[in-house]
A and B are shown apart, each in its own frame.
Chain A
Amino acid sequence: MELQKERIVEELINILGSDRVITDETVLKESSLDRYRKFEQVHEIYTQPMPAAVVYVESTDEVKKVLMFANEHGVNVVPRTGQSAIEGGLETAKENSIVVDGSGMNKVLKIDKYNMQVTVQCGVPLQELDDMLREQGYTTGHSPQSKPLAQLGGLVATRSIGQFSTLYGGIEDMVVGLEAVFPNGEVCRVKNIPRRAAGPDIRHVVIGNEGALCYITEVTIKIFKYQPENNLFLGYTIDNMKNGFDALRAVMVEGFKPSIARLYDAADASLHFDWSGDKNVLIFMAEGPSGITNATAKGIDEIVKGFPGVDTVDSKIIEKWFAGLNWGPEEIAEEKLEILATNNIGITTEVSGCWDCIYEIYDNACKRIMEEVPDMTLMGGHSSHSYINGTNMYFVYYYNVVDCTPEEEINKYHNQINRIICEEVIKYGGSIVHHHGLGKARAHYVWEEYGSSFYILDTLKKAFDPNGIMNMGTLIPIKHNEKHPWEF
């Protein structure tokens, strides 16, 4: 029998004290969703089941107690830190869930400059950590666009990636060790070591679990020397997107590791630059010791200029533009006003694919969306994370919301666009999600994404969360409409 809300709240107060158990209605409503339902959010419409409480934990022991309580009574738990999620990962898919907020666990525990790693609690904001490290001549190298908001627990849980990933890697390359609490109360610590071959890398059970398997309480990540004085920016316009992808590939295949390697199509470029016109834009940054940055910039310049239809852009423009790329609370607040005034909303969906199919994924998805989805006002995208064997594609799209209520918007537009993108990606063998996380938004395509390997994910979920309390609906849907999988 399910616990009543009042009983849940009472038990949580017994564990944490009343000052850290929030039941204010406005807080509960705002905590029932994330930016996946942006249109509902700006209209302050809340369609998801209401949580019972938002609780603020301040220690691993408190996380353990809350999880054990929830596990015993079958209460859904949604782990949360920076609240920058955008794929429904923070939605409370079940009535009377407990949102467990770790932002109070915000201590930097150890900066180890000799071993080049820093250990932090899950609620440490990345911007603050990086600012502190930079003052001392170091950096995390991790710079997602959500940097002003995001905290380390969520960044690891979503398998996030930053703008300098081509040099520093994604979060999975940065995590050294961690601590996580499982629903049965087990507190597991993975020690800090450079590498080991003692069985599978169990860190990867935790990294990217999106709160569906455990609660991350502590993370150790690598740090790097911060040498901005050596940064070199390169910018180009290029006529043809296919050539743009090929230029990116050539840079990666030849062994160069710029910290930034980006290709913007003309539509997405028009959001950022006045000078791009109907051209696509290539941007690179070389970072590190001066010998390396000079050689990297020179090598990239030679490669890119070998492609047809390339013109050089003043690097100062690129440098200045890049400094203003991240989004903080002010930008989000302004976006809300603009959406309310214009009924025009911008969303992103990011995917990945190998070099031999990424252009087809991009081109087909864009064409289909413009043909099949009404009221589109912009359709484009950019590649921002490249590898030796492929790259990502970050679709950027805007549409006017016409003749529908805020609650109807997600099925009329957003989910249909996601469906088309995922269909094209699966057709070509790419991944339906590069770095935002499956969340609940694309969880309905998890079987197509995993194929036969779904068995591994499913078994992990059943093993670590047998009572089904960890962020239900994330990674694997609770309910799935076979006939209309994209209407939820």
Chain B
Amino acid sequence: MKSILGSFKVVPDLDLLSTEDWEPGDNHLVDTSFVKSMLNVFDESALEMMLKLSDMGEGLGTSIKLNGVTIGNKICDNYLKTLYALGFDRADRIESDGDVLFEPGKTTAIMKDYIDRNEMPDLIIMGSKSADNASGCVPLFLAEELKIPCVTSVINMELLENDRIRVTNLYDGGTQIRDIQGAFIAVIGDVPGTYLRVPTLKDRMKRGKKEIVPVSITSEDRTGAHTLVNSYPVIEKREGIIVSKEDLYPFYLKERMMKL
């Protein structure tokens, strides 16, 4: 395994909003501009999982490149510098000209474009959804775009020999454990008690001072990829028959009621 790409989102810490602040503005959005940001919790678990995989790789004598990417503004730069301080090889911020909140399709398109411009990673790790949008769609859309498998609700991963990864995920009330080889997207679910480790000040001085130069990707580039040409209503019929009121009692209810 050569490289892992972790995609993360910086979101407002909604716990800091008081009840009075939960009022939509003219744009129908709650103003969170004054709220301290945080790593989206599922993405934080994802990033820490990447570091654990890298630790395991060292144990197996394999050096894994860790790359991080986010779409956002300058507020994200401190988090990217933290990733550098933690030993990430690359930590990019994509500055998109379009507003991608509530637009999983656009987000997916941007991510696909970013991956196309760089080396395809052996593993992509993403949190299942974000605190402010929570569509949960981007990982699945991205997997479809990249034509690679996607494993959801991942709660643990273990690096094995021969570039295999043992993936534990929640499924149908239980857990599944599978060994996977080849590129895939791991969607990290609820893993309570996982937090991103903290780099020392010395690590920050040594590695965390790198200037963050945003990558520019225009979201319109991909809007022409799919064009709506026609639409039809979806007919959803129930499995049943229509009974007239004249037939209801003699043919359907009489016998049943006599048995009661």
A contacts, CB < 8 Å to B: 270, 272-275, 314, 316-317, 320-321, 323-324, 337-338, 340-342, 344, 370, 375-379, 398, 400
Q: Please tell me if B24 contacts chain A, counting CB pairs below 8 Å.
A: no
- Measured between beta carbons, the chain B residues less than 8 angstroms from A323 are 18
Within 8 A of A (CB), among B183-209: 192-202
Query: How many Å lie between the Cα of A389 and that of B199 in the bound state?
Result: 38
Q: How far is the CB of A211 from chain B (nearest CB, A)?
A: 35
Query: How many Å lie between the Cα of A338 and that of B202 in the bound state?
Result: 21
Would A341 and B78 count as touching, CB distance under 8 A?
no
- Measured between beta carbons, the chain A residues less than 8 angstroms from B21 are 320
Would A342 and B37 count as touching, CB distance under 8 A?
no
Choose from A272, A340, A400 the contact partner of B200 (Cβ within 8 Å).
Answer: A400
Would A314 and B34 count as touching, CB distance under 8 A?
yes
Would B193 and A400 count as touching, CB distance under 8 A?
no
Would B200 and A375 count as touching, CB distance under 8 A?
yes
Would A377 and B195 count as touching, CB distance under 8 A?
no
Q: How far is the CB of B212 from chain A (nearest CB, A)?
A: 13
A317-B34, A320-B21, A321-B34 known; A270+B199 contact, CB < 8 A: no
Would A320 and B34 count as touching, CB distance under 8 A?
yes
18 intermolecular pairs with C-beta atoms under 8 Å apart: A270-B78, A273-B36, A274-B75, A275-B75, A320-B21, A323-B18, A324-B18, A337-B193, A341-B193, A342-B195, A342-B196, A375-B200, A376-B200, A376-B201, A377-B200, A377-B201, A398-B198, A400-B200
Would B199 and A377 count as touching, CB distance under 8 A?
yes
Please, which residue of chain A has its CB at the minimum distance from the CB of B10? A274
Query: How many Å lie between the Cα of A119 and that of B18 in the bound state?
Result: 31
Task: Using A274-B78, A342-B197 as known contacts, list a sample of 11 further A-B pairs with CB atoms less than 8 Å apart, ordered by residue number in A.
Answer: A270-B78, A316-B34, A320-B18, A320-B21, A321-B16, A324-B18, A337-B193, A338-B195, A342-B198, A377-B200, A400-B198
Q: Please tell me if B35 contacts chain A, counting CB pairs below 8 Å.
A: yes
Q: How far is the CB of B164 from chain A (nearest CB, A)?
A: 27
Choose from B78, B192, B198 the contact partner of A377 (Cβ within 8 Å).
Answer: B198
Q: How far is the CB of A368 from chain B (nearest CB, A)?
A: 13
Would A379 and B201 count as touching, CB distance under 8 A?
yes
Would A341 and B194 count as touching, CB distance under 8 A?
yes
- Measured between beta carbons, the chain A residues less than 8 angstroms from B201 are 370, 376-379
| Total interface residues in chain B, CB < 8 Å | 21
Choose from A320, A341, A379, A398 the contact partner of B195 (Cβ within 8 Å).
Answer: A341
Q: How far is the CB of B193 from chain A (nearest CB, A)?
A: 5
CB-CB nearest 9 A-B residue pairs: A344-B198, A317-B34, A341-B195, A377-B198, A320-B34, A324-B16, A274-B75, A342-B195, A376-B201
- Measured between beta carbons, the chain B residues less than 8 angstroms from A316 are 34
Q: How far is the CB of A145 from chain B (nearest CB, A)?
A: 15
Query: How many Å lie between the Cα of A340 and that of B198 in the bound state?
Result: 13
Most buried by B among A270, A340, A342, A375: A342
Q: How far is the CB of A413 from chain B (nearest CB, A)?
A: 12
Q: How far is the CB of A340 from chain B (nearest CB, A)?
A: 7
- Measured between beta carbons, the chain A residues less than 8 angstroms from B199 are 377
Please, which residue of chain B has its CB at the minimum distance from the CB of A331? B15
- Measured between beta carbons, the chain B residues less than 8 angstroms from A377 are 198-201
Please, which residue of chain B has its CB at the minimum distance from the CB of A346? B198
Query: How many Å lie between the Cα of A11 and that of B83 in the bound state?
Result: 59
Within 8 A of A (CB), among B31-66: 33-37
Would A340 and B193 count as touching, CB distance under 8 A?
yes
Query: How many Å lie between the Cα of A468 and that of B201 in the bound state?
Result: 44
Please, which residue of chain A has its CB at the minimum distance from the CB of B38? A274
Q: How far is the CB of B65 from chain A (nearest CB, A)?
A: 23
Most buried by A among B35, B192, B195: B195
Q: How far is the CB of B37 from chain A (nearest CB, A)?
A: 5
Query: How many Å lie between the Cα of A375 and that of B34 in the bound state?
Result: 32
- Measured between beta carbons, the chain B residues less than 8 angstroms from A338 are 195
Query: How many Å lie between the Cα of A378 and that of B18 in the bound state?
Result: 28
- Measured between beta carbons, the chain A residues less than 8 angstroms from B37 are 274
Q: How far is the CB of A264 from chain B (nearest CB, A)?
A: 13
Please, which residue of chain B has its CB at the minimum distance from the CB of A344? B198
- Measured between beta carbons, the chain B residues less than 8 angstroms from A400 are 197-198, 200
Would A274 and B194 count as touching, CB distance under 8 A?
no
- Measured between beta carbons, the chain A residues less than 8 angstroms from B196 are 342
- Measured between beta carbons, the chain B residues less than 8 angstroms from A321 are 16, 34, 36
Please, which residue of chain B has its CB at the minimum distance from the CB of A341? B195
Most buried by B among A270, A340, A341: A341
Most buried by A among B33, B193, B200: B200
- Measured between beta carbons, the chain B residues less than 8 angstroms from A375 are 200
Query: How many Å lie between the Cα of A338 and that of B201 in the bound state?
Result: 19
Q: What 0/1 pattern do residues 200 to 240 of B give for CB contact below 8 A with A?
A: 11100000000000000000000000000000000000000
Please, which residue of chain A has its CB at the minimum distance from the CB of B15? A324
Would A272 and B36 count as touching, CB distance under 8 A?
yes
Query: How many Å lie between the Cα of A270 and that of B199 in the bound state?
Result: 15
- Measured between beta carbons, the chain B residues less than 8 angstroms from A379 are 201
